[in-house]
Amino acid sequence: MTRILFILDASNSMNARWGAQTRIDAAKELLAKTVDDIHDIPNLEIGLRVYGHQSPITATYQDCNDTKLEVPFGKDNFGQVKARIKSIYAKGTTPIARSLEAAAGDFPDNTSRNIIILITDGLEACDNDPCVIAKKLKDKGVNVTPFVIGLGMDLSYLEKFNCIGTYADAETKEAFTKVLENIVSKALLNTTVQINLNDIHKSPKETDVTMFLYEAGTTNLKYTFTHTINKYGNPDTLIIDPKFKYDLVVNTTPRVEKKNITIQRNVHNTISVDSPQGYLKIRFSNADRQYQVDARVMLAETEKTLNTQKISETEKYIVGKYDIEILTLPRIYITTDIEQSSTSTLNISAPGFFNYSTGQPVVGQIFSQNSNGSWDWVCNLDENSRSGEFQLQPGAYRIVYRQSQLKSSTYTMEQNFRINSNKTVSLRL
């Protein structure tokens, strides 16, 4: 048996506008919808407690005992709960802790799964200590799991409820809908999952990456999450249907996969994936202006492009060895190691510029000189143009050409030139 007690904040602060509605109207609407959604779930009973709805708050008086079990637990009381929700009006003060204390007596026994879902804007007015309340609950042997939903307010006060439960905030009505659905699902399934993205030390410190969960062996995408470390420093708790097996894809670079995952019912599941990451930065060491150059990143000894990274940007990669092709003229090839949580920085010299002009169209090529004195092809000239400009890395070059209309190799011409960083060389051919 699972019992869910909904505690609704009907204090005067809930009359504040929240988008197109007041907070109380939005809360009543979505709570009523939730009651409809869970009506047919077996072995489930619900109850409704409300506070702040009986005694109006004034400049000189607030009733800190204004909390009442409006609909006790019972079978087939869903319609009664909906009707009572509809008739509630917000007007009083906010005795959150006293309501939780009173809720301990609302549950018929402590042998079932007893859940409290508190819907509030988070402004306690009566100064009770929730940790004292938590101790009283435990001393009475009441097995209560509270979930607190805040409506777009500063919920720093509710952090005090960490001793008895967790809370989630909702900045908008749409967010409130999702949070409420998630919390009800968590209460009903009692099946939760956290995905640990482990670093090289097997600590679950990696985060901020998209994860796909497919039905195992298919392309049927069931869940998409952006991995999050919650405010307690742990991977966030997820609600995942345990009736499927899953294939997990973690969209790191390169991506990491884990196949055929089984989710155990009625327990907290931990899925661990090794995904240690570090950073790669490529930069011009002596540039005096912005140069638009890309680099092709590959796993070492493979030819598949993992990423095209712009010079001066920093990108994240799985720890390992990588081959980098920097798309300068001529190309630069570097092999580097990506290490855990550190940045591997590749410094290259800034390019210079070479431009040429000619009275007649020419065919030709540009070559760069190696350290051993040999020459490597760099690029071709445009035979349909009488001028051209190239961005070249520092070094010694040779341009070899002839006029297009002259049909003899004896008309081949050549000129040598040198490129320095940030400088321009111009030739008249």
Question: What is the pLDDT, as a whole number, of residue 82?
Answer: 95
CA-to-CA distance for 226 and 147, rounded, in angstroms?
22
Pairing mode, if any, of strands 332-338 and 277-284?
unpaired
Q: Which two tokens stand for residue 387?
A: 């001028």
112/145 Cα distance (integer angstroms): 11
Six token digits for residue 64: 């800190």
Structural domains in the chain plus CATH codes:
2-188 (3.40.50.410), 192-274 (2.60.40.1120), 277-348 (2.60.40.1120), 352-428 (2.60.40.180)
Amino acid at 53: H
Find out whether 10 and 91 touch, Cβ atoms under 8 Å.
yes
**pLDDT value at residue 208:** 96
Between CA 42 and CA 425 the distance in angstroms is: 82
Residue 248: alpha-carbon gap to chain centroid? 16
Amino acid at 370: N
CA atoms in the 13 A half-sphere facing the CB of 8:
31
Q: What does the alpha-carbon distance between residue 149 and residue 152 come to, in Å, rounded to a whole number?
A: 9
> pLDDT at position 75, please?
87
For residue 257, give the 3-state DSSP assignment.
strand
- By three-state DSSP, how is residue 403 classified? strand
Classify each residue of 121-131 as buried b or exposed e, where b means 16 or more C-beta atoms within 10 Å of its C-beta.
bbbbbbebebe
Taking only the tens of pLDDT, the chain with its 429 residues reads: 788 999 999 999 889 888 888 989 989 999 999 999 888 888 889 999 999 999 998 888 899 999 999 999 998 899 999 999 999 999 999 888 888 889 888 988 877 778 888 888 866 678 666 667 767 766 665 555 555 666 655 556 556 556 655 666 677 778 778 877 877 877 776 678 999 999 999 999 999 999 999 999 999 999 999 999 987 789 988 888 888 999 999 999 999 999 999 998 778 899 999 999 999 999 999 999 989 999 999 999 999 999 999 999 999 999 999 999 999 999 999 999 999 999 999 999 999 999 999 999 999 999 999 999 999 999 999 999 999 999 999 999 999 999 999 999 999 999 999 999 999 999 999
Note the pLDDT of residue 152. 58
Return d(Cα 413, Cα 391) in angstroms, integer.
22
